[in-house]
Amino acid sequence: MTDEQFRYIEDYMLLCMKDSAHDRDHIYRVLYVALDIASYEEHVDYDVLIAACLLHDIGREEQFLDPAVDHALAGGEKAYDFLRFNGWEEAPAQHVKACIETHRYRTDRLPQSLEAKIVYDADKIDATGTLGIARTISYRADRAEPLYTLAPDGTVSDGSADSAPSFLQEYKFKLEKLYGKFYTKRAAALMVPRQKSAADFYRSMLAEIKSSYDPGRSLLREVLEAGP
């Protein structure tokens, strides 16, 4: 890929990115991690890999406008149309599309090619560790979702049995489970320290929330029961 080719793909990505948790910095981190992973592999198509990394989240706007839209599918179509318009051959444009369509965690579409697996792993790495937690909190805050919810008995829920959205629920539903689903050895190695830092953060946050909530809740009950 030439510098000129990189720049016109990058410029298109920048026009499409508006979401703070999936912003341009996320795109560059995914690209750089993907290149790190690729350096441990053989026979990587770097044109496809770089284009797919740059364009993997360009369907986010369509998903925001209509939550029923799958941003990976929308982004794959947009990327394919854009690349074909700019002179890419059918096969590599389709390959980029396939990489984008299979990069999501919440889907039954699995990455097939080496490049698609690298894009998937690099994107997932950016959801791990304390960085992944910060991105999740930012994403949830944009949607006015709480950090935690209460269990039926009024105590703070750890998120594991929640149906209502919150950060703790997202951690138990998605973030905690990311670490067993990587395709490349390099990504699996990168995730090890991040897994510990994320688990430590979750435990500390839950303990701090409970220490702020539970004692005072009991004391309030005692004061109200005592009366004037």
State the Cα–Cα distance between residues 179 and 171, nearest whole angstrom: 12
Percent of the chain with pLDDT over 90: 68
How much is the pLDDT for 11?
95
Specify the pTM: 0.85
| Domain regions of the chain by residue span | 1-127, 147-227
Model confidence pLDDT, tens digit, residues 121-172? 999 999 999 999 998 898 888 788 999 999 888 889 999 988 889 999 999 9
1-127 CATH pick, 3.30.930.10, 2.70.98.50, 3.30.428.10, 1.10.3210.10: 1.10.3210.10
pLDDT, tens digit, 9 for 90 and up, residues 203-219: 999 999 999 988 888 89
Mean pLDDT across 63-76: 87
Q: Give the pLDDT band of residue 22 (cuts 50, 70, 90).
A: low
Sign, CA dihedral 109-113-119-125, equals positive
Q: Which amino acid is at 126?
A: D
Q: Which residue has the higher pLDDT, 216 or 96?
A: 96
User: What is the mean predicted confidence (pLDDT) over 89-102?
Assistant: 98
